[in-house]
Amino acid sequence: MGADRGRARGKLLGPVVALGCGSLLVSGCASMPSSGDVHSVSASQRADSQVQVYAVPPRPGAEPNEIVAGFLEAMTSDDPQFAMARQYLTTTAAKDWRADQVTVLADGPDPQANRSSDRGADSSGFTFTVSGKRVALVDKQRAYQPAKPQETYTQTIHLVRQSGQDGTGREWRIDALPQGLLLGQSDFQRIYRSVNKYYFAAGQDRLVADPVYVRQRTDPETQMNLITQTVQSVLDGPTSWLEPVVTSKFPSGTSLKSDTKSLALDDRNALKVPLNERASNAGEAVCKRMAAQLLFTVRDLTTTRVSSVELDRANGSQLCVLSGDQAETYAPDRMSTSPGQYFVDAGGHVERMRADSGSGGSGSGVDGSDDTDSTAVTEPVQGPFGKGEQQVRTVAVSRDEKRAAGVSADGKSLFVAPLAAGGELVRTSVTSADKDTNGGLSSPSWDGRGDVWVADRDPARPRLLRLVQGSGSPETVDVAGLGGGRVQQVRMSADGVRAALLVSDGGRTTLRIGRVERTAQGGKNVISVVELRPAAPQMEDVTAVSWAGRSRLVVVGKEVGGVSQQLRYVQTDGSTSAAGTLPSVNKVTDVAATDDDRMPLVAHSQEDGIVRLPPGANWKTAVKKGSAPAYPG
């Protein structure tokens, strides 16, 4: 049975048992084993993504509550075409019901007999109300859409008596129900996984991550394994939210060759993908970009390096082959393999920490007796920001690490300078009239196109500004859907088509992701950020954010109803996992991360200075007196 429903309605459901071979069987929703050991399984064990659940048909003479409970359980199963789940439905309902979307509830669905009539019975049958706290909807495009905090889900399931094929029996069956699957959060996390699929940023040879959810094992509806589902999702095209700013190089109508169900890497870690006729005439250059979309997508599924992707025509002939090294031309992030870690020292100058210095050190850090990272080595950057007279309070380094942008100590001016000896400090025309010494210009951010973005937090004239290539006159960027909110911080993605914004509104600061659209108006390009969506709906007071992957962010803030500060990884679609929670550190005001998860997180703590969190370790203080940590970007 589902782990969530087992907790919510243990009185309705039987115990959970598992086969010695690893399959999981459930009383009331699973077949009994004919051989092998049987043992009890706790809810925590049930969360194992490798556990498989198989449903059984309803027993003869089952009461309405058993039918409803059995059907809800059967939706968590791996049965082909959900055949057993459909046996709980009437003949017509079984044909009409589609499992093409998923509603995720925090603690699983809770069915209760409708009390408006006698025990739920009515003149035509029996009604149950199914309710729960809604977490998200995964739509027909596999896109995750988070619900509003504390949003309630309420739907009804109706049952009637249905005769057997011989006209006897009069068994209870469901004849009216919501479309799609209804899963508790732990069942959802067991069954599905987040995957990045990739498309090209409009007008660029740079890939953009588009996160979706696919089934971890064979999909009951299509019978495709994980890799095949994921490849087909790429061919289906981008999600609606991202579609306006990306393109797919696959010709319209391209799909996998019919009956392709089990794609897999071979012993050379190469993937061969057979396509239908619609792709057969693709040219070499287009084909290699098609292969790049799939190579980066499949690479995110495995820790094994994908050596190459081969695309084949429907007749079996080779269309093209792209190696992993060749695919780097289209990489979403093109920073060096060892990006620098930067910060502003106590004197207002920019220093660099050695990029490889975050993984060592014998001290136990901010949570132990030795509060310093003994391997931290710092030095002033080359150029005006390292030794010049101009003091800055925040800094952003370009993704090629050749230039930096810094905000003056009073928050009123933006400067740009090379990170090289002899470079000239340039005061840009970006200024703020904010009289608040803690306000003014936010920390700047460089996108992958070489443009600088910054928010002016002046309450009298709040603006989001873009400085093309870090020079010239700034452009004011329209942000649609802000209402009365003001942008307090901006962090641009490497691909330049997504903006992470901290927005203050009504005393709360939340994280939103916007799509960056570029349109031609009157002979010039106009930039706007549109269709804002929540990226951390479980947090109501966000302090800092940084990109930490192609569709992942690290967020500092307080959860809804919480009192203590949390550090979490979140996806750009608003989804999270239990593994996303990070070790805490006191009073963090800034955080910096990079797409390479082998690099340490860097943060500023008001109590501990510049601290770093290497993978698998604890936070360690690297610099006692410093602020505004930054990776390139």
Write down the pTM of the prediction. 0.88
Evaluate whether 532 touches 512 at the Cβ level (below 8 Å). yes
User: What pLDDT sits at residue 169?
Assistant: 65
Evaluate whether 495 touches 208 at the Cβ level (below 8 Å). yes
Dist. CA 153–CA 130, nearest whole Å: 8
Dist. CA 582–CA 569, nearest whole Å: 8
Mean pLDDT by 10 residues, the chain (633 residues): 46 34 36 40 42 86 95 95 96 95 96 68 82 96 92 96 70 95 96 96 95 95 96 98 98 96 96 97 96 96 91 96 96 78 96 63 47 73 93 96 97 97 94 94 96 97 96 96 94 96 94 94 88 92 95 93 90 86 91 92 95 93 95 95
User: What pLDDT sits at residue 521?
Assistant: 82
User: What pLDDT sits at residue 550?
Assistant: 93
User: What pLDDT sits at residue 376?
Assistant: 78
Dist. CA 553–CA 592, nearest whole Å: 10
In the chain, what is the straight-line distance between the N-terminal and C-terminal CA atoms, in Å? 47
Q: Cβ of 258: how many Cβ atoms within 10 Å?
A: 8
User: What pLDDT sits at residue 540?
Assistant: 85
User: What pLDDT sits at residue 16?
Assistant: 31
User: What pLDDT sits at residue 577?
Assistant: 77
Dist. CA 507–CA 40, nearest whole Å: 49
* Residue 232, amino acid: Q
User: What pLDDT sits at residue 12?
Assistant: 38
In SS3 terms, 451-493 reads as CEEEEECCCCCCEEEEEHHHCCCCEECEECCCCCCEEEEEEEC
Report the DSSP beta bridge partners of residue 36.
none
Domains delineated in the chain: 3-162 (no CATH), 218-330 (no CATH), 341-630 (2.120.10.30)
* Residue 508, amino acid: R
Find where tokens 């011989």 sit: 166
Dist. CA 426–CA 423, nearest whole Å: 9
